[in-house]
Copies of this chain bind each other. A is one copy, B any other.
Amino acid sequence: MAEPTGLRERKKAATKAALSQAAFRLAMEKDGIEAVSPDEIAAAAGVSTRTFHNYFRGKEEALLYDFSEMTRKLLDDLRERSRHQPIWDALRDACISLHLSDAYDVQLLQCREAIVRNSPTLITHQAGQFMELFQDAVGIVAQATGTEPTDLYPRLVLGSALISMKIANEQWIADPDAEPLEAVIAKSFAQFEAGITRPITE
């Protein structure tokens, strides 16, 4: 967990974060990512346009960078948990352990959600990142259930878990005061355990 990485790596990470944050801030100010250009983002982060394109393939990717960081953490955590926990619990607990509600300011998350919801291209890109996450995780789930990644079961399990996570997060962000995030995630996962055809009663 220590990061005694060299100066170079820290600078790169800082630049990438600065670009991502600049993208977000500008999208917020201009009320939508469409109105923001790579040039602006680069300028706001204090680097050249060319450098922006060295880090991200486009403004969408820049704005969604934090998401891809989260999936990286999720995968690491899941890999570890899958060796000690039943896979379904591992999936749920890995989602919970992201502690989204602690790691980010609530208003920021709501803002981010609004920006993404309002942009078809952002929705699409984010969906694509979910597919990537699916591909990266299906091997873990298959291994944990003693099946192949090409089998039906592990993919249904993983699909359920990812949907569950996405919807629970959205739900909590929409109304953060109703329940703690962990409770929404737990409830969402519980719905899948009980069978989806009947709603579980509180």
Task: Give the oligomeric copy count.
Answer: 2
Partner of A196, one of B124, B130, B160: B160
Contact (Cβ within 8 A) B195 A193: yes
For A125, A187, A199, the residue with the greatest tally of chain B CB atoms inside 10 Å of its CB is: A199
Q: Is A82 an interface residue when CB atoms closer than 8 A count as contact?
A: no
User: For the side of the interface on A, what is the size category?
Assistant: 35 or more
Give A161 Cβ to nearest chain B Cβ, in Å.
8
22 residue pairs A–B, Cβ–Cβ below 8 Å: A86-B197, A88-B196, A120-B128, A124-B127, A124-B131, A127-B128, A127-B130, A128-B128, A145-B199, A150-B171, A150-B174, A152-B167, A152-B168, A152-B171, A152-B191, A153-B191, A156-B164, A156-B167, A157-B197, A160-B196, A193-B195, A193-B197
Binding site for B on A (CB under 8 A): 86, 88, 120, 123-125, 127-128, 130-131, 145, 150, 152-153, 155-157, 159-160, 163-164, 166-168, 170-171, 174, 184, 187-188, 191-197, 199
